[in-house]
Structure 1
């Protein structure tokens, strides 16, 4: 009996030691006793307003919420500027992965740079979490076991914009598309989705890239009497089209513009008088609920009063998900952490009760927002009225249709 008790006691002690020592054992597998996260994007150029330093602030908040260490290893944050150049982004990523001990790269914010970094990360077995980039190739034909798409993509934008607007009464459409591959693709997708959801495209027109005069195109759209005038373009073309649509009082005459790529800072620059009635797809709005407002309050202390946009919120969520996966996996080995990210739920103020698919796509909902009239805004940055929520399963490309070999 005494011998049996001694054996039981020894076994119990070993079990307790195993439980208590499991964290220490995992900490030993953290390379160089540090988990190093790199935020890469356009820090000073045209993309800086919607990604840039704001993504760095968001990553800092995620690390602050997780804690300064993981399994006893400290967490470090480094920042890189790719200047929207794929070769420069690759060079930064190569140095980070090969020489500087960076374990994960977040954001990027340029599709061309994202694809280049994804290729390198696949070779190195390193994690990359794309947030501000939108090419659906990241989780399609160019997918990687260690690559993740965390916010939106071209397929989801088209699905959400079309389905969301039709759901709130935008049955008839006129499409104003830029005359190159992006515009052609978005135009074709919108036409199909609008028709599939019970709407009707009553007309379309293409404009040259970097057009300065949209008056004839806007007049055609206005004459169509379509409920929705979709802008299948980006950057200065979108801004110029919105400005000239305001001059023709498109919204005042009962039509809404819908932009495929637009951000809260763009609304701020244009002003509500010009941008009112514009409908956009977003993954986050700072004033949506108590949790988003609490995050934004902390963010503004770092940003000098500028609110977080959806790329910034997405970076926060991605960095937090990565750190939680390192904690659960007990290692910073890229392949093991990536598998753990896919096995854990994502539940934060950006993505509520979401999951990550095998192809690395976060199944997060998107929102259709409409820019408020000046009289409806309660103050600075109170710009959006959320019209409807689009479920991830309804707008994100099905797993078997993307061409991902995973």
Structure 2
């Protein structure tokens, strides 16, 4: 009965079903209230609506409607939402996807229904690997890119011995696996790991394991509320800050995490992103619009949702239809461009090829205001950070 009630609650959409067929409908499926809601969720909806606003609220003479659904970090709920959107609401594209496991569930349904899925939520490399689809495009840096980029940066600074505190599902497992491969290839050692359930709030036992391992680097292979709690508690345990020789890596840390933790606790943590709000005039101008409606600065997930929706609508306008085969063909073969990203391409496996930035959380002394949280340490070209096409496992990309 409880599971049935959860599913019914997830299907209570923010916009009623049965909308007129003369509307272009896009659905945002994301974690709207759970551990990842700050980094995506309602902020992804706000970003999508900004993209719709940039098209004047209509396309091909039809109004654009944004639907939303809460996947509750459960693949079965995500799949049910996707089927309802496609079958009952006549949605032409789903965006975001939530966590890695729910994104894979949505991708399966989207491929079956031959509908567009623009992934700006889940990060597992399987999305453009063994699960790749001609109807899916992956905007976010994947688990391979974000874990290996930050790991290489830390190894280059002398981080030779590692311990992982890992979210116990596909996303966390991917981060740990790819990161540890880089450590070992560089001659370093992995001294252990601890798997933490998604709903964990108390990381004390895992931090004690990390501390007793003797590792010089503790890597948090998690995100959202899990990352926030683990970093806060690492500071409380004295594993960070003055006198500590340990280095902390957040393999997927966001501005929303830093704001929740505070600069005093998070300072010095290394992470990655494909967007930061204060990079240039265009990012600052867009952030001003985003903050006016969402009251917070955007994470890179939310910025990628904007880009995904914007470029989808641009493709629909260019081909004159929402037909997924024609839209997909256009997006796969035409450089993508929007106010936040210029001239990036989609690879044959669905991977959006854009630069990745190594980021570091600023110290309180470096920060010039409440939103001045991180700094760019270096930029990595996409060809150097994503898996080579022939190693992704995407069979269709080799055809």
For the aligned pair, the TM-score class normalised by the smaller chain equals: 0.7 to 0.9
Q: Pick from 104, 110, 127: which aligns with 1:121?
A: 110
Partner of 1:336, secondary structure, is helix
Q: Is the 8 A contact 1:214 1:244 kept in 2?
A: no
Summarize the Cα distance change of 1:203–1:106 in structure 2 as closer, same or farther, 3 Å threshold: closer
Q: Is the 8 A contact 2:225 2:257 kept in 1?
A: no
Q: C-alpha separation between the residues in 1 aligned to 2:91 and 2:207?
A: 50
Q: Is the 8 A contact 1:174 1:204 kept in 2?
A: yes
Indicate the residue corresponding to 1:27 in structure 2: none
Q: C-alpha separation between the residues in 2 aligned to 1:179 and 1:271?
A: 22
Q: Is the 8 A contact 1:212 1:240 kept in 2?
A: no
Q: Pick from 285, 293, 298: which aligns with 1:294?
A: 285
Summarize the Cα distance change of 1:273–1:214 in structure 2 as closer, same or farther, 3 Å threshold: farther
Indicate the residue corresponding to 1:190 in structure 2: 179
Deviation at 1:186, TM superposition (A): 3.4
Q: Is the 8 A contact 1:251 1:257 kept in 2?
A: no
- Which structure's CA Rg is the greater one? 1
Q: What TM-score does the superposition give when structure 1 sets the normalisation length?
A: 0.84
Q: What TM-score does the superposition give when structure 2 sets the normalisation length?
A: 0.85
Q: Pick from 209, 212, 234: which aligns with 1:217?
A: 209
Q: Pick from 183, 188, 208: which aligns with 1:201?
A: 188
Q: Are 2:334 and 1:344 aligned?
A: yes
Q: C-alpha separation between the residues in 2 aligned to 1:239 and 1:79?
A: 26
Deviation at 1:391, TM superposition (A): 1.4
Q: What 5-or-longer segments of structure 2 have no aligned partner? A: 1-19
Instruction: Give the structure with the larger helix fraction.
Output: 1
Deviations 1:189-239 (A, max 9, x none): 22332454xx44245222242443345334346x55x4x432234556544
Q: Is the 8 A contact 1:121 1:146 kept in 2?
A: yes
Q: C-alpha separation between the residues in 1 aligned to 2:31 and 2:169?
A: 23
Q: What 5-or-longer segments of structure 1 have no aligned partner? A: 1-30
Indicate the residue corresponding to 1:64 in structure 2: 53
Query: CA RMSD, aligned part only?
Result: 2.3
Summarize the Cα distance change of 1:213–1:341 in structure 2 as closer, same or farther, 3 Å threshold: same
Deviation at 1:376, TM superposition (A): 1.1
Q: C-alpha separation between the residues in 2 aligned to 1:116 and 1:333?
A: 22
Q: C-alpha separation between the residues in 1 aligned to 2:177 and 2:99?
A: 23
Indicate the residue corresponding to 1:20 in structure 2: none
Q: Are 2:141 and 1:176 aligned?
A: no
Partner of 1:213, secondary structure, is helix
Partner of 1:374, secondary structure, is coil
